[in-house]
């Protein structure tokens, strides 16, 4: 696990690499390495966080196969011991204690097809000196990030966008379409970033870069397509023989494999189903965590925004499995003051306070000497943990009653307030939309027109002709599937990689801590793709099949507790003690005047404060964009 950087192109040199690695120092406090071939115009670098094989024999960049290949690698290959055995039979010689060391021989043997043999999380670059090709790849779910920029006839890449900012000639203009998508979703989907010159390698993709004279030719390809139920005559086919007991055994196999490390392991323990399941499985497979961590929140407004106290449930699990639990109290006022600094840390603005909690837990874990934490991230996206999954199920069960139910929910909203009012209004819109519109609305905080109205005139005109992202790909590829499964498929094309996994990586690696996410292992994804939606989500019970698998390990009180987000009372914050913070970011001149329609934003802010619209997260999104620019781009 680490931070990686590199380049291919005649105009780049070692001074660029050193600058990129300096900006990644937090990701790899245990070591640093650089390698160059000036004649080929290639350079690779790494900041190391040592997890597997702590010796210098596992340092990077690493050479392999008689020095034909050189690799810089970020991630973990959990099944590397199995790959070691295969490669030894083929006659390859390498450091058998290092997961990095298997990658170049595997690439030599299979080419890009080697990616399908890897169980893990990764972003890496392999230079093939014989073919003069730079091969870069990203894992199936986008757990590990990889940013790149084509410039000056070459390409630069790194684990974090901020690492690329020292490259002379980088296009620093704002991508108006990315900004519009961000205001719509509160995160930026697909390959776009807020900078027009920087892209993300998409999850489950690789790219081949070949220097051809003064130009680099780049080919992109997709190596992983998320699983879906097979269609027979347009009807999804499910495996109804699958049982919760089989799921539990598979979960234990995955946890057992993912606990490979030469350093102590810890775990998040929020008291929710996902983190509790992971801690229970770690104990069942003889990998009891050295420490677990839970956030407790001090301050008003939590109940009104749908959050509940987690600590009692976390204590329950810790006591049952005899694991240490560290309770970390968070103060609301202090969290609010930290939001401006959060935006640049994440590389891409995101309107969510949850990364602050991840950052705090990981910083504490590092102080405790723990470099690896197991997380339940992704459980909601695989096992049906969100209200949008429940709404999809409701739509199908209601049939012809869906439209009158949608109108009824809209009428009911007029008699409610707080969180209940917001949810009734949203439910109305989701019930009344057609299926494809529902899929777009399910992931949107604002409709496209509402988001566009807040932008300046130039970008409003641009995005109307330039709106296409991976959510549209997911919608097209899932045609014919059950609506619940279509939502689950779409989770993997934006919300999971570009929101949850992005902030999880950046907030944890800011303290030099690796977070592993076993619930989005490919084998679990494949298993659940074949389970009928009516079993995944039974009636109104979210994660029903997954919860049934855990019945022998977790109490009914925990399994059937109300869904609680990993968040904070943003609405009460922003119209209360955060008011001056918002108005200072958006109405005191500066970049906000260039990006947004100030009058439209002011009207929206007034209506938000008056309770006419539920606009707090949209206002936070605008602020985070400004703070991102001021913190990251002002250098």
CATH of the domain at 197: 3.60.20.10
HSE, CB side, 13 Å, CA atoms: give it for residue 572: 16
Whether residue 479 is contained in a domain is answered as no
Per-residue pLDDT tens digits for 509-536: 999 999 999 999 999 999 999 999 999 9
H or E stretch covering 438? helix 435-442
Whether residue 125 is contained in a domain is answered as yes
More confidently predicted of 397 and 3: 3
Whether residue 113 is contained in a domain is answered as yes
Asked if residue 95 and residue 209 are part of one domain, the reply reads yes
Among 559, 584, 604, where does a domain finish? Answer: 559
Per-residue pLDDT tens digits for 117-157: 999 999 999 999 999 999 999 999 999 999 999 998 899 99
Whether residue 416 is contained in a domain is answered as no
Asked if residue 270 and residue 353 are part of one domain, the reply reads yes
Closest Cα partner for 115 from 18, 227, 247, 225?
A: 225
Whether residue 611 is contained in a domain is answered as no
> How confident is the prediction for the chain on average, in pLDDT?
92
Structure tokens that stand for 551 in this block? 């019945």
Residues 6+ apart with CB under 8 A from 431: 391, 394, 395, 398, 402, 403, 405, 406, 409
Asked if residue 56 and residue 27 are part of one domain, the reply reads yes
More confidently predicted of 406 and 265: 265
Residues 6+ apart with CB under 8 A from 82: none
Asked if residue 258 and residue 112 are part of one domain, the reply reads no
Q: Of 120-129, 205-214, 389-398, which one has max mean pLDDT?
A: 120-129
Asked if residue 156 and residue 7 are part of one domain, the reply reads yes
Average the pLDDT over each of 72-86, 123-137, 202-216 and give the range with the smallest value: 202-216
Asked if residue 213 and residue 270 are part of one domain, the reply reads no
Per-residue pLDDT tens digits for 446-503: 887 888 899 998 888 777 666 678 999 999 999 999 999 999 999 999 999 999 999 9
Asked if residue 199 and residue 276 are part of one domain, the reply reads no
Asked if residue 256 and residue 132 are part of one domain, the reply reads no
Per-residue pLDDT tens digits for 324-346: 999 998 876 778 889 999 999 99
Asked if residue 97 and residue 44 are part of one domain, the reply reads yes
Give the residue ranges of DSSP H helices in 154-306.
176-185, 244-258, 273-284
Kindly state the average pLDDT of the residues 268-281: 97
CATH at residue 266 = 3.40.50.620
Range of the domain at 117: 2-222
Among 536, 559, 582, where does a domain finish? Answer: 559
HSE, CB side, 13 Å, CA atoms: give it for residue 459: 24
Whether residue 620 is contained in a domain is answered as no
Asked if residue 374 and residue 249 are part of one domain, the reply reads yes
DSSP 486-536: HHHHHHTTTIIIIIIIHHHHHHHHTTT-EEE-GGG-HHHHHHHHTS-HHHH
Residues 6+ apart with CB under 8 A from 534: 393
Burial of 471-485, coded b for 16+ CB within 10 Å and e otherwise, reads: bbbbbebbeebbbbb
Peptide bond into 61 cis (omega under 30): yes
pLDDT at 306: 47
DSSP 240-281: TT--HHHHHHHHHHHHHHHT--SS-EEEE--SSHHHHHHHHH
Whether residue 31 is contained in a domain is answered as yes
pLDDT at 566: 56
Among 542, 559, 576, where does a domain finish? Answer: 559
631 three-state secondary structure: helix
Rounded Cα distance between 69 and 92, Å, is: 13
Rounded Cα distance between 621 and 375, Å, is: 26
Rounded Cα distance between 522 and 144, Å, is: 15
| β 291-298/514-516 pair status | unpaired
H or E stretch covering 38? none
Strand partners for 194: none
Q: In the chain, how many domains are there?
A: 2
Cα angle 137-628-307, degrees, rounded to a multiple of 5 = 90
Closest Cα partner for 206 from 295, 114, 278, 273?
A: 114
Q: Where are the beta strands (DSSP E) in 257-362?
A: 265-268, 291-298, 325-331
Asked if residue 265 and residue 154 are part of one domain, the reply reads no
Whether residue 518 is contained in a domain is answered as yes
Per-residue pLDDT tens digits for 537-592: 998 899 999 999 999 999 999 998 876 655 567 888 888 888 999 999 999 888 99
Structural contact between residues 43 and 72, judged by C-beta atoms closer than 8 angstroms:
no
The pTM is what? 0.95
Asked if residue 17 and residue 83 are part of one domain, the reply reads yes
Closest Cα partner for 454 from 615, 632, 633?
A: 615
Per-residue pLDDT tens digits for 587-624: 988 899 999 999 999 999 999 998 888 889 999 999 99
């Amino acid at each position: 696990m680490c931070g990686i950087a590199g380049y291919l192109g005649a105009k780049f040199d070692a001074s660029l690499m050193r600058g990129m690695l300096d900006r990644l120092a937090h990701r790899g406090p245990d070591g640093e390495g650089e390698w160059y071939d000036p004649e080929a115009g290639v350079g690779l670098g790494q900041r190391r966080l040592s997890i597997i094989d702590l010796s210098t024999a596992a340092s990077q960049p690493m050479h392999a196969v008689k020095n034909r290949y050189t690799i810089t690698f970020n991630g973990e290959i959990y099944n590397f011991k199995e790959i070691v055995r295969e490669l030894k039979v083929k006659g390859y010689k390498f450091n058998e204690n290092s997961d990095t060391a298997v990658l170049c021989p595997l690439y030599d043997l299979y080419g890009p097809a080697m990616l399908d043999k890897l169980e893990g999380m990764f972003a890496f670059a392999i230079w093939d000196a014989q073919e003069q090709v730079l091969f870069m790849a990203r894992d199936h779910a986008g757990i590990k990030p990889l940013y790149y920029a084509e410039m000056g006839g070459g390409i630069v890449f790194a684990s974090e966008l901020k690492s690329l900012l020292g490259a002379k000639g980088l296009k620093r203009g704002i991508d108006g379409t990315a900004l519009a998508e961000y205001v719509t979703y509160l995160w930026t989907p697909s390959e776009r970033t807020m900078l027009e010159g920087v892209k993300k390698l998409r999850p489950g993709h690789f790219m081949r870069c070949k220097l051809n004279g003064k130009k680099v030719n780049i080919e992109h390809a997709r190596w992983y397509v998320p699983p879906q139920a097979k269609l027979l005559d347009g009807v999804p086919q499910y495996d109804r023989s699958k049982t919760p007991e089989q799921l539990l055994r598979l979960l234990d196999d995955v946890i057992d494999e993912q606990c490979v490390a030469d350093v102590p392991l810890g775990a998040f323990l929020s008291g929710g189903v996902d983190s509790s399941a992971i801690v229970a499985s770690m104990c069942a497979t003889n990998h009891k965590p050295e420490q677990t961590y839970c956030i407790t929140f001090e301050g008003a407004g939590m109940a009104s925004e749908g959050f509940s106290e987690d600590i009692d449930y976390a204590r329950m699990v810790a006591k049952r499995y005899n694991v240490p639990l560290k309770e970390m109290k968070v103060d609301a006022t202090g969290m609010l003051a930290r939001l401006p600094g959060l935006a640049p840390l994440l590389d891409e603005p995101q309107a969510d306070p949850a990364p602050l909690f991840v950052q705090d837990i990981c910083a504490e874990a590092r102080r405790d000497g723990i470099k690896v934490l197991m997380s339940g991230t992704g459980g909601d996206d695989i096992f049906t943990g969100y209200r949008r999954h429940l709404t999809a199920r409701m739509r199908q069960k209601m049939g012809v009653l869906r439209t009158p139910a949608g109108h009824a929910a809209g009428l009911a909203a007029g008699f409610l307030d707080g969180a209940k009012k917001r949810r009734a209004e949203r439910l109305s819109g989701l019930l009344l939309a057609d299926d494809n519109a529902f899929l777009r609305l399910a992931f949107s905080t604002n409709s496209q027109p509402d988001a566009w109205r807040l932008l300046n005139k130039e970008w409003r005109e641009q995005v109307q002709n330039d709106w296409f992202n991976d959510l549209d790909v997911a919608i097209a590829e899932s045609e014919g599937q059950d609506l619940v499964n279509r939502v689950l498929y779409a989770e993997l094309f934006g919300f999971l990689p570009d929101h949850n996994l992005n902030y999880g990586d950046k907030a944890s690696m800011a303290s030099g801590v690796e977070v592993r996410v076993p619930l989005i292992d490919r084998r679990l994804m494949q298993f659940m793709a074949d389970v009928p939606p009516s079993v995944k989500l039974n009636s109104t019970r979210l994660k029903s099949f997954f919860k049934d698998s855990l019945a022998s390990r977790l109490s009914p009180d925990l399994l059937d507790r109300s869904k609680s987000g990993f968040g904070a009372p943003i609405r009460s914050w922003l119209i209360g003690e955060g008011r001056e913070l918002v108005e200072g970011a958006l109405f005191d001149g500066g970049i906000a005047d260039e990006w947004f329609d100030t009058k439209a934003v002011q009207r929206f802010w007034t209506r938000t404060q008056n309770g006419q619209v539920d606009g707090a997260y949209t206002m936070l999104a605008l602020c985070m964009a400004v703070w991102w620019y001021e913190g990251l781009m002002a250098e």
